[in-house]
Amino acid sequence: MNVTSKIYSLIVFVFLASCKSKEIAPPKPLLPVPSSAQMAWHEMEMNAFVHFTTNTFTDKEWGFGDEKPSIFNPTQLNINQWISTLKEAGFKGAILTTKHHDGFCLWPSRYTDHSVKNSPLQNGKADIVKEFSDACKKQGMKFGIYLSPWDRNRSDYGSDSYVEYYRNQLKELFNAYGPVFEMWFDGANGGDGYYGGANEKRKINGASYYDWPTTLNIVREIEPNIIFFSDAGPGVRWVGNENGRAGETNWNTITPDTLFAGQSDINGLLNTGSENGTHWIPAETDVSIRPGWFYHAKEDSLVKAPEQLVEIYLTSVGRGSTLLLNVPPDKRGLFHEQDVKALRGFRTLLDHEFKTNFALNSRVEASSYRGNSKKYSPENLTDGNKETYWTTDDSVTTASLVMHLEKPQSVKYILLKEHIQLGQRIKSFHIEIEKEGVWKKVAEATTIGYKRILKIEPVLTNKIRISITSAKACPIISCVEIY
Ligand code: FUL
């Protein structure tokens, strides 16, 4: 190599090195951020709850605990029908009440006789939990477990031996029927019950009696990626109501301690989360397709209509929460015709409302983007790829994005997704549409999170402007969709 070519190689080397150093680093995560198991849970979006026990046969919501196992006798049990109905409606996982407050077990637990093994169903050989988890596996749905901590049947409820019983059942269930994606710990406790014939009121200290840290670790040892639901998490939190409404402001973050610190409006706090919460504990929206959680023939005419279910979708999934919709089997052991019809109608309506994303591959203008790097350019919002995102320089916390649709469309929904893997950031934003050269504000909202859907009066337009008016740190958005 002569001197000239050496100098030339050096210049090329320096040039390439300087190009590389110009590669703009992504924003640093704004803590807390979701774990990979929580991220997978967010992506499920819609799960189902299935409430089934002796209550189905006694027409109650809370069994007292003195029900005879012999009354549990569905005549046409078909668990595949439940799971295929849910799957066709778009649910990704299903959580079964393996034991509700009445203490009756849907599997032949070796720790009690108060179970399906003493029911006439399949001559005492039935195992609803197994059939349910098998059907989920077969149909590609995830399986979840509800096991009520409160047990109105057990004579030892309130003493240490019951906690051991409860833990043994958790081990039994998780070892025999997994994998399990979510474990649902119900905080309800009404005090009175049968308790092996004592027929009395028992009071426990919900915070200390079950020794939750130890109990959760027993489950974690078997299922390390489990998502724990309880009012306060640690995996996901209760949304604070049972009517399908996540907060219009919905932070995935909350400080769990504040829930036990004499807070006056705990349900309100659970509903909105808190902007500066120390933990990532997103809200799960549990609601029933009927007024009750269990099947009652008198509620056949009160099954929610497809339009109501779409409204619930918008106030749960559309507010960055995950929907947990309960569908209770009837006395035959089938989802009732009314519920099946409502779920099919729900799917059809949802597909109709969200049929064509007018924004897919459309041009987007941003007030700025991070380091003018293509990696963070506004095209990432409409490329149909949820892994790519638009973001700004660290110092920028407000921005505007103008969406140019190919031709005027009747716009009814604007859907946005934050790239929450790097933390939830956006605090407020609004939407304008352009009509005859004039911008008109059509919606205003606070948080986005995993997903936010804003419904507006349908309007014909080909230009939509999204203005982010405040954020905790530089905004990061992965998708904008327009329907
Ligand atoms: C509540 C329970 O008391 C209801 O019966 C139902 O299981 C609901 C999902 O949670 O706390």
Res 230: pLDDT? 96
Give the sheet arrangement for strand 322-326, strand by strand.
227-229, 182-184, 142-147, 93-99, 46-50, 322-326, 283-288, 237-238
Whether 102 lines ligand 1, by a CB cut-off of 6 Å, is: no
Whether 460 lines ligand 1, by a CB cut-off of 6 Å, is: no
Q: What is the pLDDT of residues 52-110, one digit of tens each?
A: 999 999 999 999 999 999 999 999 999 999 999 999 999 999 999 999 999 999 999 99
Whether 231 lines ligand 1, by a CB cut-off of 6 Å, is: no
Q: Which atom of ligand 1 is nearest to the CA of 286?
A: 9
Token representation of residue 124: 């005492």
Token representation of residue 195: 């308790």
Q: b/e for 84-120, b at 16 or more Cβ within 10 A?
A: bbbbebebbbbbbbbbbbbbbbbbbbeebebbbbbbe
Provide the whole-model pTM: 0.95
Q: What is the pLDDT of residues 274-301, one digit of tens each?
A: 999 999 999 999 999 999 999 999 999 9
Q: Which atom of ligand 1 is nearest to the CA of 97?
A: 7
Distance 188 CA to ligand 1 centre (A): 7
Res 263: pLDDT? 78
Q: What is the location of CATH 2.60.120.260 in the chain?
A: 363-482
Token representation of residue 322: 């995950």
Cα–Cα distance measured from residue 452 to residue 323, given in angstroms and rounded to the nearest whole number: 13
Identity at 282, one-letter amino acid code: P
Whether 186 lines ligand 1, by a CB cut-off of 6 Å, is: yes
Distance 185 CA to ligand 1 centre (A): 10
Res 13: pLDDT? 58
Q: Residue length, the chain?
A: 483
Q: Which atom of ligand 1 is nearest to the CA of 61?
A: 5
Give the pLDDT mean for 300-313.
98
Distance 186 CA to ligand 1 centre (A): 7
363-482 maps to which CATH number? 2.60.120.260
Q: What is the pLDDT of residues 365-388, one digit of tens each?
A: 999 999 999 999 999 999 999 999
Whether 152 has a pLDDT exceeding 50, the answer reads yes
Cα–Cα distance measured from residue 471 to residue 448, given in angstroms and rounded to the nearest whole number: 11
Res 21: pLDDT? 47
Whether 127 lines ligand 1, by a CB cut-off of 6 Å, is: no
Whether 421 has a pLDDT exceeding 90, the answer reads yes
Whether 184 lines ligand 1, by a CB cut-off of 6 Å, is: no
Is it true that domain 36-353 has CATH number 3.20.20.80? yes
Token representation of residue 439: 């911008």
Give the pLDDT mean for 418-440.
97
Whether 223 lines ligand 1, by a CB cut-off of 6 Å, is: no
Res 5: pLDDT? 64
Q: What is the dihedral of CA 290, 452, 35, 39, to 10 degrees?
A: 70
Q: Compute CA 237 distance to the chain's CA centroid, rounded to the nearest angstrom.
A: 10
DSSP secondary structure string for all residues of 159-174: SHHHHHHHHHHHHHHH
Whether 3 has a pLDDT exceeding 70, the answer reads no
Q: What is the pLDDT of residues 109-146, one digit of tens each?
A: 999 999 999 999 999 999 999 999 999 999 999 999 99
Cα–Cα distance measured from residue 279 to residue 186, given in angstroms and rounded to the nearest whole number: 21
Q: What is the location of CATH 3.20.20.80 in the chain?
A: 36-353
**Is residue 141 within 8 Å of 92, Cβ to Cβ?**
yes
Res 121: pLDDT? 98
Res 387: pLDDT? 96
Give the pLDDT mean for 199-218.
96
Q: What is the pLDDT of residues 37-66, one digit of tens each?
A: 999 999 999 999 999 999 999 999 999 999
Distance 61 CA to ligand 1 centre (A): 9
Average pLDDT along the chain = 96
Q: What is the pLDDT of residues 210-268, one digit of tens each?
A: 999 999 999 999 999 999 999 999 999 999 999 999 999 999 999 998 887 777 899 99
